[in-house]
Amino acid sequence: MGKGFSREYIIIVIVAVLLAIPALLINLGTITLIGDEGIRADVALEMKFSGDLITPKIADDYYYRKPPVYNYVLLLMFIVTDQYSEFFVRLPNIFILLAYCFSIYLVVKNRYGRRKGFLAAMLYLACGRVLFYESLFALIDISYSWLTFLSFIYIYHYFMKGKYLKMFLVSYTITAVTFLMKGYTSIAFQGITLLVIFISNKQFKKLFTWKHVIGGLVFIILTGSYYLAYYLKNPDQFTHAMNGIFHQSADKSAFGFSLPEVVRHVFTYSFEVFYNFMPGTLVLFLFIKKHPFGLLKKDPFLSYIIKVFIFNIIIFLISPGSFQRYVLMLMPLLFIVFVIYYDWHKKNGTIHVKLLDTLFLAISIVFCIGVFAFPMVEATGFVDHAWLKAAVLFIIMTSVIVWLFRKPEYRLEMLIIILLVVRIAFNFYILPSRVHDQYHSDSREIARKIGHEYKDYPVYDFDHHLPVNYVYYVTAERQKVIQINNDTTRPGYYFYHDPDGIFEDKTLYKMVLSGDGYTVSFIDLTD
């Protein structure tokens, strides 16, 4: 793998980039917002309508579990576009994901060359968890992970140059921003990473200097400024807000779980991470040989990122409340190692890389043929021009395989391009099938209809009975905030979970909101 791009490789890059655009954008706004998306979007929307940029609220009620920085990203999109559809709610996440991948490319390119940079970035984009989940939704995690990844890189960059003050200032500034996105986990990342690099380089005493104090003060000033503003605006809610973000982090930790639960989670979580982040996690296969470990000793950057990965992922391995998306900032570190070790095995012609390349080819062929399953299955065969779409996708994948079949040096690139085409197939077939088969789409339309028809009337959500994603739909249509009201004696229209049919005669609409039959009625209590 050379330093630059050959003319042939430029074509590979162009094909991958051109396929990534439709892979990320086709039918992006099709499916209903999920719960966490609804929280992020509704908090941002209520900030726009209320003009209060300090206090996160849902249905005009205080929301304590996340600080508001990511909501500002969505708020900016709402202000710029004046659009509130699912597509525009999710679009910022796509921009940030692309910026994240480009950052990975630059980091690796500057040290190991353009091709390795491209592969590391595309491995991240094409891994299962990112390509088929995180890029579909407007969640905090990609943005949060991107900034945390940059912090890892800046810490190494400035440490190696001996610019400790700049290292502390930059990393603590990023930590302050991520703290105001997601809370206390940011402090853990910062602390563990600083310990890793200072202890590894036998500079532990330099952690205890005035420069570190300055960095810590920057963190306190930035986060403290927000919470001071919050306190001044909501003095009676300040304790609740601080407790909210503490419990959001603590609830996911090992505290409160038994030892057998923690041990079970270590194994199940390890498998889930390995499975969800393939093909990049196949780097473990390349470690089944003693000699390549010498690369870590020769390359201080590789040694650093492996240690950052290991010591940071431990907190999630031992925390049964953790999800796979919590390690999105760590996986690029592993993928960088994959690219370096894959290159080493290629140059040495090991059996490991031959088997891995054979696997990549086999997977590509299976996906190529498997695309015809979509028009043949009832669940996805209803899609417009189902057979035509399958034929076009088959031709694209076949062309890629034929093009790169006799070039074993490009097996990984082949797989990445095929995965992007598979994501396009996913967009064509799976996303419409979710809309076609689920009750959520009907309920979404009812929520929008209610918001439009009753925009000039008092509308209340009784005791948070209406899930927040539907609160968002109603609010977006009304262009004004609905409120929580637990007193049905106040005249108005209410969203009310009414399993006993108490207000059956006053029900105007009924929405089915879960697979177990949970319903919310829209009732007329204006009399």
The DSSP call for residue 134 is: G
* 255 vs 66, more confident: 66
Strands (E), 288-345: none
Report the C-alpha gap between 386 and 384 in whole angstroms: 5
Percent of the chain with pLDDT over 70: 95
Residue 1 predicted with pLDDT over 50: no
Q: Which of 99-108, 253-262, 374-383, 488-497 has the lowest mean pLDDT?
A: 253-262
pLDDT digits (tens, 9 = 90+) for 497-526: 998 889 999 999 999 887 677 899 999 999
What per-residue confidence (pLDDT) applies to 118? 96
Nearest of 43, 53, 44, 42 to residue 77 by alpha carbon: 44
What per-residue confidence (pLDDT) applies to 297? 76
Overall average pLDDT of the 323-350 stretch: 91
Overall average pLDDT of the 55-67 stretch: 92
What per-residue confidence (pLDDT) applies to 232? 95
Q: What is the mean pLDDT of the chain?
A: 91
Are the CB atoms for 428 and 26 separated by under 8 Å?
A: yes
pLDDT digits (tens, 9 = 90+) for 88-107: 999 999 999 999 999 999 99
pLDDT digits (tens, 9 = 90+) for 12-40: 999 999 999 999 999 999 999 998 999 99
Please give the order of strands across the beta sheet that includes 492-496: 483-484, 459-461, 492-496, 519-525, 507-512
Overall average pLDDT of the 306-310 stretch: 95
What per-residue confidence (pLDDT) applies to 293? 66
pLDDT digits (tens, 9 = 90+) for 210-253: 999 999 999 999 999 999 999 999 999 988 888 887 766 655 55
pLDDT digits (tens, 9 = 90+) for 460-500: 999 999 999 999 999 999 999 999 998 888 999 999 999 88
What per-residue confidence (pLDDT) applies to 2? 45
What are the φ/ψ torsions at residue 469 (nearest 5 degrees)?
A: -65, -30
Report the C-alpha gap between 145 and 312 in whole angstroms: 13
Percent of the chain with pLDDT over 90: 76
* 353 vs 440, more confident: 353
What per-residue confidence (pLDDT) applies to 3? 57
Report the C-alpha gap between 461 and 113 in whole angstroms: 56
Nearest of 70, 223, 87, 65 to residue 143 by alpha carbon: 70
Overall average pLDDT of the 120-128 stretch: 96
Nearest of 392, 406, 358, 478 to residue 45 by alpha carbon: 478
What per-residue confidence (pLDDT) applies to 249? 62
Overall average pLDDT of the 174-186 stretch: 94
pTM beyond 0.85: the answer is yes
Report the C-alpha gap between 397 and 386 in whole angstroms: 17
